[in-house]
């Protein structure tokens, strides 16, 4: 049987945020078994026999995951709640059906310390949070770069990504197709970051919530040294 193997998938979050590792399955098949491992130890397992689904999560060898793991009983996806920097590392997913392994995948999770100065590897996604649990109808949100150019806004319950609309006269199009606004909180996600996205981001909220914040986004550069032969 062909085993689907993919390269390690990076996932980055700020400490305290949940991180979900997806199986990309819509439903666990009958006779299917999903195992999640961290550091070589099984931390979660779900299986389906006939119409019965059994699932179990483990605390880990040092109990680092105690009461913080959640399994989606339909898809087998794993969520780590209240993430900590010690959760960083490689997670392995294995899916087998009737005893035959059909998918093996690795996730490289990085949990960064909480703060407004975010440092992320090239190609990762970064979410800048408003700290608002739910927007009010009269809230007006503006996300800007340090040059005060608005890149995303919420106004009159309308959500607009400036760089996704070719009719907008925005000089910097480096964000095109990379921005997402959370419709509940107004938080902004920048996907697949590059050196073009480094810098200061400004959040202004008016209306029911009055909030002003600055965020600094820095790209982590990994350098490798090669020995001469």
Predicted local confidence at residue 93, as pLDDT: 94
Weakly modelled stretches of the chain, pLDDT under 50: 1-2, 165-170, 221-229
Predicted local confidence at residue 221, as pLDDT: 44
Show the beta-strand stretches assigned E in 66-177. Answer: 69-71, 78-80, 89-97, 100-112, 117-121, 126-128, 140-145, 150-155, 158-161
**Domain C-terminal end among 62, 79, 112:** 112
Residue 192's nearest CA partner among 178, 182, 202, 206 is 178
Residue whose tokens read 């999640």: 36
Predicted local confidence at residue 78, as pLDDT: 93
Q: What range does the domain containing 121 cover?
A: 117-220
Query: How many structural domains compose the chain?
Result: 2
Residue whose tokens read 């986004």: 217
Predicted local confidence at residue 102, as pLDDT: 83
Two tokens at 119? 């440092």
Predicted local confidence at residue 116, as pLDDT: 53
Do 81 and 66 fall into the same domain?
yes
CATH of the domain at 133: 2.60.40.10
Do 105 and 17 fall into the same domain?
yes
Question: Which residues make beta-bridge pairs with 68?
Answer: none
pLDDT tens per residue, range 134-167: 888 888 888 888 777 888 998 887 888 876 544 4
Output Rg (C-alpha) for the chain, integer angstroms. Answer: 21
Q: Which helix (H) or strand (E) holds 75?
A: none
Do 158 and 200 fall into the same domain?
yes
Stated pTM of the model: 0.53
Determine contact, residues 33/53, Cβ cutoff 8 Å. no
Do 104 and 174 fall into the same domain?
no
């Amino acid at each position: 049987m062909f085993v689907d193997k993919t390269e390690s998938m990076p996932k980055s979050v700020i400490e305290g945020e949940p991180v979900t590792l997806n199986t990309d399955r819509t439903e666990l098949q009958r006779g299917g078994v999903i195992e999640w491992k961290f550091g070589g130890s099984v931390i979660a397992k779900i299986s389906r026999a006939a119409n019965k689904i059994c699932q179990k999560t483990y605390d880990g060898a040092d109990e680092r995951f105690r009461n913080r793991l959640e399994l989606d009983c339909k898809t087998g996806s794993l969520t780590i709640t209240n993430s900590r920097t010690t959760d960083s590392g490689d997670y392995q997913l294995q899916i087998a059906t009737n005893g035959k392994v059909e998918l093996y995948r690795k996730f490289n999770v990085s949990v960064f310390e909480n703060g407004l100065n975010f440092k992320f590897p090239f190609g990762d996604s970064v979410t800048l949070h408003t700290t608002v649990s739910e927007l009010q109808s009269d809230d007006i949100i503006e996300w800007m770069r340090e040059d005060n150019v608005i890149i995303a806004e919420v106004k009159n319950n309308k959500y607009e990504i400036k760089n996704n609309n070719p009719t907008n006269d925005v000089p910097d199009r480096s964000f095109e197709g990379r921005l997402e606004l959370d419709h509940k909180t107004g938080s902004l996600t920048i996907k697949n970051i590059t050196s073009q996205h480094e810098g200061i981001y400004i959040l202004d909220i008016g209306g029911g919530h009055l909030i002003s914040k600055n965020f600094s986004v820095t790209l982590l550069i990994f350098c490798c040294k090669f020995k001469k032969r």
